[in-house]
Copies of this chain bind each other. A is one copy, B any other.
């Protein structure tokens, strides 16, 4: 194994000088430096990160924490977040993927991460968020608005997005609205629901319990819910499925019962998943800019890790309604 000492011996200098050459310190002459670098190169020297970590007390690893990995988190969400992170994170860091749910105990994160990004889906994660901040590990929380005021937080305004959906439906003349819910204890789900219902109420439309159908963000649950909806005596003309996956399930239910979208019923989804444009009809949905969130998140985290102060600590990324062909205008 070639170490700093090997190089030092060959170059006839001390360990420190080698270390300086490798970490391009200013306290070294260019000649010595190139000489050492040359030897290091020839020997294929690669620093032992563990040794370095031990003394610098850095792990050169950043942790990406999801609430859950093996279930509950949609695939597109997971990949898009990982993609964004991988893309924008400096390659000198190792990216480690974790699930809060699977942590044997919070302490197990100690010494492991220079920075942590939490993609949080529910308030269940609050204990973990608090632990991380208590350990003074640089952290940013993505996705949902958190209640702690001192935690860097870039979130997506689900409420506003849902409001846009409701308003869009109202504008197009719909009177009877339906909702397929997401997973109950996910913040995304409750905020989408609140935004939708409260906005409709403003337009004097009451979304009764009979028009709210349970779902769990899976295609199958969307399919089931839509089947129920279509069996109603007077089904809604506008259905908001809390995510695109469920909207896709709803599409299938419609197809099976020979109900035409958007002529017979209008559907809107949420997320703007890659497939939503390719459904027939193309799904009207709202874009959740996960990549943007990831980009800002990793930028903030990098700043925190290099002990820079953040100009702002909370940031909302705006929703964008993607109007396609799954909603029709109602004429009276």
- Residues in chain B near residue A110, CB distance under 8 A: 46
A159 at the interface (CB under 8 A from B): no
Q: Do A48 and B278 touch (CB < 8 A)? A: no
Q: Which residue of B lies closest to A255 (CB)?
A: B280
Q: Can you name 23 A-B residue pairings with CB atoms under 8 Å? A: A46-B110, A46-B111, A48-B111, A49-B59, A49-B112, A50-B111, A53-B53, A54-B54, A61-B96, A75-B80, A78-B82, A82-B82, A82-B97, A86-B99, A86-B102, A91-B102, A95-B97, A95-B98, A96-B96, A223-B278, A245-B275, A248-B275, A248-B278
Distance in Å from the Cβ of A121 to the closest Cβ of chain B? 16
Chain A residues close to B by CB (< 8 Å):
44, 46-51, 53-54, 59, 61, 69-70, 75-76, 78-80, 82-83, 86-87, 91, 94-99, 102, 104, 107-108, 110-112, 219, 223, 245, 248-249, 251-252, 255, 274-275, 277-280
Q: Do A50 and B46 touch (CB < 8 A)? A: no
- Residues in chain B near residue A59, CB distance under 8 A: 49-50
Q: CA A252 – CA B110 in complex, angstroms? A: 50
Q: Do A46 and B108 touch (CB < 8 A)? A: yes
Known: A50-B51, A95-B96, A95-B97. 10 other contacts (CB 8 A): A46-B111, A47-B111, A69-B83, A75-B76, A78-B79, A79-B79, A86-B102, A245-B275, A252-B279, A255-B280
Give the residue among A76, A78, A275 with the most B Cβ atoms within 10 A: A275
- Residues in chain B near residue A78, CB distance under 8 A: 79, 82
Distance in Å from the Cβ of A75 to the closest Cβ of chain B? 4
Distance in Å from the Cβ of A17 to the closest Cβ of chain B? 22
Given contacts A48-B111, A78-B79, A274-B219, contact A69 B96 (CB under 8 A): no
Distance in Å from the Cβ of A259 to the closest Cβ of chain B? 12
Given contacts A50-B50, A82-B69, A111-B49, contact A94 B219 (CB under 8 A): no
- Residues in chain B near residue A54, CB distance under 8 A: 48, 50-51, 54
Q: CA A45 – CA B99 in complex, angstroms? A: 22
Q: CA A163 – CA B46 in complex, angstroms? A: 47
Q: Do B111 and A219 touch (CB < 8 A)? A: no
Q: Which of B44, B48, B79, B277 contacts A107 (CB 8 A)?
A: B44
Q: Do A86 and B91 touch (CB < 8 A)? A: no
Q: Which residue of B lies closest to A50 (CB)?
A: B53
Q: Which of B46, B49, B223, B278 contacts A251 (CB 8 A)?
A: B278
Distance in Å from the Cβ of A267 to the closest Cβ of chain B? 13
- Residues in chain B near residue A44, CB distance under 8 A: 107
Given contacts A79-B75, A79-B78, contact A69 B48 (CB under 8 A): no
Q: CA A90 – CA B239 in complex, angstroms? A: 43
- Residues in chain B near residue A98, CB distance under 8 A: 94-95
Q: Which of B83, B91, B278 contacts A249 (CB 8 A)?
A: B278
Q: Do A107 and B46 touch (CB < 8 A)? A: yes
